[in-house]
Amino acid sequence: MSHIVAVNSNCYHGFSIEEAIDGIQAAGFHYIELTATKGWTEHVFPTMSFSFLWSIKDRLQQAGLTPFSMSGHTNLMDTERIPDFISNMRLANFYGCTYIVSSIGEAHLKDNAVTSNEEVAEHIRALLPHLENYNLILVLENHGEHSTGKVIKSIVDLVDSPRVKINYDTANVLYFAGVNPIDDIPTCIDSIAYLHIKDKAGGHHEWNFPALGKGYVDFPRILALLDQAGNESPMSIEIEFTQNGPHDLAEVNRAVRDSYTYLRNLGLTIS
């Protein structure tokens, strides 16, 4: 099977986008997921100057990195936040992205909203004209109250649009729901269009997301499930370390390199 393999710039949370680009390029990758998550990782953001955003576009080109996706997490159930998400869509289009990633609620800001799947689908359907306008696919991430692929699939089915699919996060399903992705993925695999390949270590609710191969997520079996289903969805590596974060930039760069080596050893071609 052939998959695009990218690195989420959120791996470099707390460091600059320039440092992220340099580290991802040095590790041998050719694709990047840019992060524009308000209040968390604002590597690129709609409020930044055009000259800065353009300079990052130039730097990506010089580094041989294709920005094919954007992490634009917004609370899609909060009507006051929808203009922020539309701005993120415009930014994703500016960089030539194909995918924009969001959880249904806030991924990193406090969000206690609990709503029905039908209400969620109604809110997301309202975004379809904007997704068409900016030629994007919204991939909904399993996160928080909507932490399994099975739940996200029910929402995607209600929306019923090729513009809305699943971003399957391999560690979130463990962290939030305590469900093994090997059991969950078959329930939604036909709706998965994108994956955050993230490892998990430590206890169920312990914030511990190390370099790939350092935890207990069974990536060989996940790849086998995708292969059996003929699913060639792109994958984006996400490393979030522990609650204390990485010690320094060198630790992040090492984790990204280690993840590259791990995936190559599994037989993935990273080009």
- What is the pLDDT, as a whole number, of residue 51? 99
If you classify domain 5-265 with CATH, what class do you get? alpha beta
Structure tokens at 256: 């990204």
- Quick check: 77 and 107 in contact, CB under 8 A? no
- What is the pLDDT, as a whole number, of residue 112? 45
Task: List the Cα angle 185/89/62 in 5-degree steps.
Answer: 90
Strand partners, 131: none
Q: For 94-106, b where at least 16 C-beta lie within 10 A, e where not — what string?
A: bbebbbbbbbbbb
pLDDT tens for the chain, residues 1 to 271:
689 999 999 999 999 999 999 999 999 999 999 999 999 999 999 999 999 999 999 999 999 999 999 999 999 999 999 999 999 999 999 999 999 999 997 554 444 445 689 999 999 999 999 999 999 999 999 999 899 999 999 999 999 999 999 999 999 999 999 999 999 999 999 999 999 999 999 999 999 999 999 999 999 999 999 999 999 999 999 999 999 999 999 999 999 999 999 999 999 998 7
- What is the pLDDT, as a whole number, of residue 268? 94
CA distance 183 to 82: 33
Residues 6+ apart with CB under 8 A from 32: 6, 7, 8, 9, 20, 21, 24, 60, 65, 66, 67, 68
SS (HEC) of the chain: CCCCEEEEHHHHCCCCHHHHHHHHHHHCCCEEEEEEECCCEECCCCCCCHHHHHHHHHHHHHHCCEEEEEECCCCCCCHHHHHHHHHHHHHHHHCCCCEEEECCCCCCCCCCCCCCHHHHHHHHHCCHHHHHHCCCEEEEECECCECCHHHHHHHHHHHCCCCEEEEEECCHHHHHHCCCHHHHHHHCHHHEEEEEECCCCCCCCCCEECCCCCCCCCHHHHHHHHHHHCCCCCEEECCCEECCCCCCHHHHHHHHHHHHHHHHHCCCCCC
Structure tokens at 74: 């917004």
> How big is the chain, counted in residues?
271
- What is the pLDDT, as a whole number, of residue 207? 97
> Which of 223, 234, 239, 213 shows the shortest CA–CA distance to 185?
223
For the chain, give every domain's residue range. Answer: 5-265
- What is the pLDDT, as a whole number, of residue 24? 99
- What is the pLDDT, as a whole number, of residue 105? 76
- Would the pTM count as exceeding 0.85? yes
CA distance 253 to 246: 10
- Quick check: 164 and 121 in contact, CB under 8 A? no
